[in-house]
């Protein structure tokens, strides 16, 4: 069943946001041409995975006290090499899913999201927000309940050395608010296909006009023909960040719409990791 808020988000994004901002200058932005893809599969980097469900407490809602609320997480870590004698923990990235699909516990580490970070030497934890896949709780898009669930999942998984977040679609909102509330840990963000200003039409919080607490290194990528989350949102947000002295990278994709091919995602995020983690 389609969630009401997700339906409102989809319709509002498509019909109300197209005139919300003037496209920004593109002289310092990169552009990627999407070419036809072959059918070869992802080359898998060896990994070790763990999964779990953490109890969390929703906030600000009248809910039965006895009800159980669970946040599902999937952790992908690089497989240990016999020659690796370092005792330093690997750096960890949190992945935030889009509005219409959560992360599969069996496929996340083998898919492009898990693999692009593993190939760059990071471990990555994917967390399903409330009411997605194995997470149980009220669906609040990316609000306080989502943050409580994410905090509980991070704590239970015992991940160390958090450094960055990746998010796509509504995952950009969740990633940004998590980064703002954990500014002492999160050093960078990679955000794709995002809607950055929600307050004007959904009575939800916006990240576009309150930059306080965001990490100073942010990479944005967006298809210029995206009709679900129009690119002028990303352009406006990018310009706002630049005036606040953030280190901003932005990649415009010539085609692909909102549902980019996985190879395009993987290529862009691989490039983004190298830039934001310098």
Ordered by where they begin, the domains of the chain are: 43-276 (3.40.50.1820)
Helix count and strand count (H, E) for the chain: 7, 9
**How many Å apart are CA 248 and CA 58, to the nearest integer?**
34
- Average pLDDT for residues 17-22, to the nearest whole number? 32
Q: Determine the pLDDT at residue 63.
A: 57
Polymer length in residues for the chain: 278
> Is the predicted pLDDT of residue 213 greater than 60, yes or no?
yes
SS3 per residue for 173-225:
HHHHHHHHHCCCCCCEEEEECCCCCCHHHHCCCCCCCCCCCCCCEEEEEEECC
β-bridge mates for residue 166, sequence order: 95, 190
Angle 193-196-198 from CA coordinates, rounded to 5°: 120
| Percent of all residues in the chain with a pLDDT value above 90, rounded to a whole number | 58
Q: What is the pTM of this model?
A: 0.84
- Report pLDDT digits (tens) over 223-241: 999 998 889 889 988 988 8
> Is the predicted pLDDT of residue 39 greater than 50, yes or no?
no
Burial state string for 68-79 with b = 16 or more CB within 10 A and e = fewer than 16 = ebbbbbbbbbbe
Q: Determine the pLDDT at residue 55.
A: 94
> Is the predicted pLDDT of residue 85 greater than 90, yes or no?
no
Q: What is the rounded end-to-end Cα distance, in angstroms, of the chain?
A: 43
Higher-scoring residue by pLDDT: 77, 140: 77
**How many Å apart are CA 161 and CA 87, to the nearest integer?**
13
> Is the predicted pLDDT of residue 26 greater than 70, yes or no?
no
> Is the predicted pLDDT of residue 19 greater than 70, yes or no?
no
- Average pLDDT for residues 247-272, to the nearest whole number? 94
> Is the predicted pLDDT of residue 66 greater than 80, yes or no?
no
Higher-scoring residue by pLDDT: 6, 54: 54
> Is the predicted pLDDT of residue 82 greater than 90, yes or no?
no
- Average pLDDT for residues 260-270, to the nearest whole number? 94
Higher-scoring residue by pLDDT: 32, 185: 185
**How many Å apart are CA 165 and CA 105, to the nearest integer?**
19
**How many Å apart are CA 107 and CA 133, to the nearest integer?**
12
Q: Determine the pLDDT at residue 57.
A: 86
**How many Å apart are CA 91 and CA 162, to the nearest integer?**
6
């Amino acid at each position: 069943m389609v969630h009401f808020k997700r339906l409102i988000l989809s319709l509002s994004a498509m019909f109300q946001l197209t005139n919300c901002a003037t496209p920004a200058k593109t002289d310092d932005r990169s552009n990627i041409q999407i070419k036809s893809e072959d059918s070869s599969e992802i080359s898998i980097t060896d990994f070790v995975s763990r999964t779990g469900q953490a109890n969390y407490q929703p906030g600000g809602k009248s809910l039965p006290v006895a009800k159980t609320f669970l946040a599902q997480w999937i952790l992908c870590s690089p497989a240990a090499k016999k020659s690796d004698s370092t005792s330093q923990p690997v750096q960890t990235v949190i992945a935030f899913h889009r509005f219409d699909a959560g992360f599969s516990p069996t496929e996340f580490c083998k898919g492009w999201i898990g693999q692009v970070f593993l190939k760059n030497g990071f471990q990555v934890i994917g967390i399903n927000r409330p009411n997605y896949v194995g997470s149980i709780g009220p669906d609040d898009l990316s609000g306080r309940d989502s943050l409580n669930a994410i905090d509980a999942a991070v704590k239970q998984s015992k991940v160390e050395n958090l450094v960055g977040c990746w998010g796509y679609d509504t995952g950009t909102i969740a990633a940004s608010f998590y980064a703002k509330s954990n500014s002492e840990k999160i050093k960078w963000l990679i955000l794709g296909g995002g809607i950055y200003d929600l307050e004007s039409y959904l009575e939800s919080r916006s990240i576009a006009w309150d930059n306080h607490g965001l990490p100073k290194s942010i990479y944005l990528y967006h298809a210029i023909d995206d009709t679900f989350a129009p690119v002028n949102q990303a352009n406006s947000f990018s310009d706002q960040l630049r005036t606040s002295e953030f280190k901003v990278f932005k990649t415009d994709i010539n085609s692909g719409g909102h549902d980019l091919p996985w190879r395009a995602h993987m290529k862009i995020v691989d490039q983004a990791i190298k830039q934001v983690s310098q």
